[in-house]
């Protein structure tokens, strides 16, 4: 199993410049590459598929080679593995009171 750091996700209530909107998920996102600290700002819209805890607390994101194996190690699955693009899945989990996003790209 392998994982690679991607970004720190920080929920916000006001949009920042250059954020993009993901219509299916009803979320505004910044590009982590725009910040030297690899920050992804997230503004959740009403009706988003993401649970409330993600609207309030930051997370650390990792690209993983096997999403299902990492999710099985979690204390709590906050957001079940979900395909967000062809062959791309994400999940949010809690481990030791910290939130992690796992991102798997099988392309």
State the CATH number of the domain containing residue 16. 3.10.180.10
What is the per-residue pLDDT for 107?
Answer: 86
Structural domain total, the chain: 1
What is the per-residue pLDDT for 29?
Answer: 97
What is the per-residue pLDDT for 104?
Answer: 97
Is the pLDDT assigned to residue 50 strictly greater than 90? yes
Is the pLDDT assigned to residue 26 strictly greater than 90? yes
Average pLDDT over residues 60-77: 97
Give residue 57's domain range: 3-105
Is the pLDDT assigned to residue 1 strictly greater than 90? no
Per-residue burial over 55-69, b = 16 or more CB atoms within 10 Å of its CB, e = otherwise: eeeebebbbbeebee
**Antiparallel, parallel or unpaired: β 76-85 and 88-95:** antiparallel
Average pLDDT over residues 42-71: 97
């Amino acid at each position: 199993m392998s994982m690679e750091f991607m970004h720190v996700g920080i929920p916000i209530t006001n949009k920042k410049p250059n954020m993009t909107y993901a219509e299916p998920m009803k979320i505004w996102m910044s590009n982590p590459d725009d910040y030297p600290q690899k920050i992804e700002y997230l503004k959740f819209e009403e009706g988003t598929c993401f649970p409330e805890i993600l609207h309030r607390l930051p997370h650390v994101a990792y690209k993983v080679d096997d999403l299902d194996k990492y999710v099985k190690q979690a204390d709590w699955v906050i957001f079940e593995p979900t395909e967000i693009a062809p062959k791309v899945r994400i999940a949010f989990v809690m481990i030791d009171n910290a939130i992690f996003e796992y991102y798997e790209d099988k392309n």
